[in-house]
Amino acid sequence: MTRVSLHLARADNGVIGRDGGLPWRLPADLKRFKAQTMGRPMIMGRKTFESFPTPLPGRRHIVLTRDPAWRAEGAEVARDVAGALALAGEDAAVIGGAEVFALFLPLADRVELTEVHLDAEGDTIVPPFTGWRETAREDHPAAEGRPAYSFVTLVRG
């Protein structure tokens, strides 16, 4: 059985993305994401993979896509959830996008969430995590033109 965790930043209004990128710049969130995913297989959708300038160092990139012809340097291709989990092995960090989060949510035992405290404009939304229990929270105030945010860990309720 694969241990599955979701890793994402989400605005108070549910927005996680805009035009293929993030609608904010939070260096501390990127640093936390790197620490949580380094050395782990990451499962993502094709658009998430293509949003990176190059594959992220030190991590495997398992890309879930319905396009049978899609291939990319640095990507291991999976056609379905079972295939992605088989490639990942014992542990998987699911990193997006919204459709991929929805597919893996029933299988996840933990959510590593950055709550970005603003109502962001965007085109990709993830609903609130209901039925989950908060086990850790680290609040950070707005600073240097960046919004306030909280690092939150959720586990199944």
Q: In angstroms, rounded to a whole number, what is the distance separating the alpha carbons of residues 86 and 69? A: 20
Non-local CB neighbours of 149 within 8 Å, separated by 6+ positions: 9, 26, 28, 29, 114, 115, 116, 117, 139, 140
- Tell me the per-residue pLDDT of 88-146, one tens digit each, with 9 for 90 and over: 999 999 999 999 999 999 999 999 999 999 999 999 999 999 999 999 999 999 999 99
Question: What pLDDT, on the 0 to 100 scale, is given for residue 107?
Answer: 97
Asked if the model's pLDDT at residue 1 lies above 90, the reply is: no
* CA distance linking residue 41 with residue 93, whole number of Å: 6
Radius of gyration of the chain (CA): 15
Condensed to tens digits (0 to 9), the pLDDT of residues 49-98 reads: 999 999 999 999 999 999 999 999 999 999 999 999 999 999 999 999 99
Q: What is the pTM of this model?
A: 0.96
Instruction: Please report the pLDDT score of residue 133 as a whole number.
Output: 97
Is-cis flag, bond preceding 97, omega within 30? Answer: yes
In a 10 Å sphere around its CB, with 0-12 CB exposed, 13-18 middle and 19+ buried, how is residue 117 labelled? middle
| Cβ–Cβ under 8 Å, residues 99 and 48 | no
